[in-house]
């Protein structure tokens, strides 16, 4: 009997140890663009929360792997780091857009594991603080009159999510051939805003979170938020496109994927970790301060959401003429 009890105790101990067997060790988050953009924001803010809440040991390294609208990072994870259990990668609607359009050659969403979301980031269209443009209709009228006179910068590749947002807005505003809209792609929203401030372009299309610092400094003027109603907090003074007569909504989800060969134990660990961050008071404060809307999905639910997101963007890209 004692032997049976001893075996049972040993089995219970072994089970409890196996449940917590995964140790992430030195953790890393890849931001697939240059510093200052939305992916960089996602990695750094979530990484800080993971550290502050002591969910990961020590500090999380953030690596910026720019290029190809996220394609360089995606290819590196798939081909070189497929079994890295300590790595997560920032993703968004921009990632889904590139996958939908076949812009990551040979890559599909099934080659990685989708961890979870941390919110939705509404799009904005902005100009430099000293610009003579004050409203979205004014910008669209300039494009209608002479498409070559207006260049719009964004942090995603040509055909990417930032590009799509401004094309959808132009379509809703009555621009006959949206392919004439001049879009200039940069590796991240930070670089795009830098070019706006330098006077190289006339407008910027991005997301609320990546524009927050430039809004706070007063360097840019937000002329439209692509949300169904005005955002709360620091963005509450900015009008929506809808209230200016251009009925367009552009929500950019934010979340993470992991290498496709990640172990089930590690995957469960990261799904749980991201879920804990989302549920924390610290993250609620970050969301409120940066204009993020709620979007709480983890594991299988998030996987299904990304699949649906890619399908809808594929259809949208066909309608606009980006995909045949």
pLDDT of residue 156: 86
Angle, vertex CA 313, rays to CA 305 and CA 262, nearest 5: 45
What's the predicted TM-score (pTM) here? 0.77
| Strand 251-259 with 87-92, pairing | antiparallel
| Residues of each domain in the chain carrying CATH 3.40.190.10 | 125-251
Provide the mean pLDDT of the chain: 90
**Residue percentage of the chain with pLDDT more than 70:** 94
Band of pLDDT at residue 57, cut at 50, 70 and 90: very high
**CATH number for domain 25-121+252-320, candidates 3.40.50.720, 3.50.50.60, 3.40.50.2300, 3.40.190.150:** 3.40.190.150
Query: pLDDT for 182-211, tens place per residue?
Result: 999 998 888 999 999 999 999 999 988 888
Fold of the domain spanning 125-251: D-Maltodextrin-Binding Protein; domain 2 (3.40.190)
Q: Which regions of the chain carry the CATH code 3.40.190.150?
A: 25-121+252-320
Task: Provide the pLDDT confidence category of residue 21 given band limits of 50, 70 and 90.
Answer: low
236 pLDDT higher than 70: yes
pLDDT at 1: 45
- Whether pLDDT at 70 is above 90: yes
Give me the pLDDT at residue 53, please. Answer: 96
Which of 296, 38, 318 minimizes the C-alpha distance to 187? 38
């Amino acid at each position: 009997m004692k032997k049976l009890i001893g075996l049972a105790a040993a089995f219970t101990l072994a089970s409890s140890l196996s449940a917590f067997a995964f140790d992430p060790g030195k953790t890393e988050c890849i931001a697939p663009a240059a510093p200052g953009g939305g992916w960089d924001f996602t990695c750094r803010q979530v990484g800080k929360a993971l550290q502050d809440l002591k969910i990961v040991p020590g500090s999380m390294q953030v690596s910026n792997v720019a290029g190809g609208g996220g394609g360089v990072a995606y290819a590196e994870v798939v081909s070189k780091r497929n079994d890295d259990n300590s790595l997560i990668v920032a993703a968004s609607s921009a990632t889904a857009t590139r996958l939908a359009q076949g812009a990551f050659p040979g890559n599909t969403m099934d080659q990685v594991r989708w961890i979870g979301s941390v919110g939705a980031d509404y799009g904005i269209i902005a100009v430099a603080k000293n610009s003579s443009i004050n409203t979205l209709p004014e910008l669209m009228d300039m494009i209608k009159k002479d498409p070559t006179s207006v260049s719009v910068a964004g942090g995603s590749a040509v055909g990417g999510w930032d590009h799509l947002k401004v094309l959808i807005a132009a379509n809703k505003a009555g621009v006959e051939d949206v392919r004439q809209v001049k879009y200039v792609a940069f590796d991240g929203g930070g670089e795009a805003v830098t070019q706006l401030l330098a006077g190289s372009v006339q407008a910027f299309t991005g997301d609320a979170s990546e524009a927050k610092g430039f809004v706070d400094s007063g360097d840019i003027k937000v002329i439209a938020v692509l949300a169904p109603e005005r955002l709360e907090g620091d963005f509450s003074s900015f009008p929506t496109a809808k209230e200016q007569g251009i009925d367009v909504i552009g929500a950019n989800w934010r979340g993470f994927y992991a290498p496709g060969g990640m172990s089930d134990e590690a995957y469960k660990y990261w799904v749980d970790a991201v879920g804990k961050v989302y549920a924390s008071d610290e993250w609620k404060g970050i969301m409120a301060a940066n204009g993020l809307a709620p979007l709480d999905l983890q594991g299988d639910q998030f996987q299904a959401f990304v699949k649906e997101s890619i399908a809808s963007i594929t259809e949208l890209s066909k309608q606009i003429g980006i995909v045949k």
